[in-house]
Amino acid sequence: MPGSGELLTLKRRGNEYTLDVDGSLLMTSLSHASEDSLAEITCRRIRAVRVPSVLVGGLGMGYTLAAALKALGPQAKVAVCEISPGVVDWNRGPLSHLAGHPLKDRRVTVLTEDIALTLRRERAAYDAILQDVDNGPEGQTLKANDWLYSEQGLAEAAAALRPGGILALWSAKPNKQFVKRLRRCGFEPEELCARGRDKHRGAHYIIWLAVLSSHSRSLDVER
């Protein structure tokens, strides 16, 4: 990844594609049901919005983006943040068919930047933010991602959301302290369980749906 010092590698074995970071598995094309659920569940919650605006943090192999597009109507606007230009190129090339070529959808805008920059810049811009940039609040893949799960990062996410908006986060495991942090930052979190391969198979993962509560607009964001 440019600027992060980590080596991101795309591998293929038969019909399986994998993304590795410094030799450690980041994701595989054979297990993406929980990423699909992250988008499907969240976008169902905002289907009453006439022209929904959604931010997807982390392109990966395109599955979360594709699931969001499928769940949203034709008037939706979806921005996807991906810090690595290489990942964007792969999703326009060898990985594009996996999720059904989501980057070709006219509703999509690609932002080749850290989602942290987007959150700091935007104000009341999104009805939902789908955040799947790491393994959870500990920032296991990239230490710099810890900021996204900090109180400052959550306050920036709250400021980037419209009233009643949803911050949806994927995690490899539960984290009670993070749930408390969400509440302190003005969110009303709901914790759901999702399977990795399909609804009945694969590892168990966590999806937090954190709805922005009415008093959160008074939160101070330190820069």
Domain-wise residue ranges, the chain: 31-218
Element (DSSP H or E) covering residue 156: helix 151-160
For 90, residues 6+ apart whose C-beta sits below 8 A from its C-beta are 10
Question: Phi/psi zone of residue 33: left (φ > 0), alpha (ψ -120 to 50 degrees), beta?
Answer: alpha
Residues constituting the chain: 223
Give the residue-averaged pLDDT of 167-179. 93
Vertex 115, ends 111 and 118: CA angle to 5°? 70
Q: Is residue 146 very low, low, confident or very high in pLDDT (cuts 50, 70, 90)?
A: confident
Q: Is residue 221 very low, low, confident or very high in pLDDT (cuts 50, 70, 90)?
A: very low
Residue 27 has pLDDT above 80, yes or no: yes
- The answer as to CATH 3.40.50.150 being correct for domain 31-218 is yes
Residue 223 is classified by DSSP as: -
Residue 112 has pLDDT above 50, yes or no: yes
What's the predicted TM-score (pTM) here?
Answer: 0.89
Q: Is residue 195 very low, low, confident or very high in pLDDT (cuts 50, 70, 90)?
A: confident
Residue 1 has pLDDT above 60, yes or no: no
Vertex 36, ends 214 and 180: CA angle to 5°? 35
- pLDDT averaged over the chain? 88
Lowest mean pLDDT among 1-10, 43-52, 100-109, 177-186: 1-10
Burial class of residue 167 in the structure, from the number of CB atoms within 10 Å of its CB (0-12 exposed, 13-18 middle, 19+ buried):
buried
Task: Scan for tokens 């330190």, then name that residue.
Answer: 222
Under a CB-based contact definition with an 8 Å cutoff, are residues 110 and 80 in contact?
yes
Residue 222 has pLDDT above 50, yes or no: no
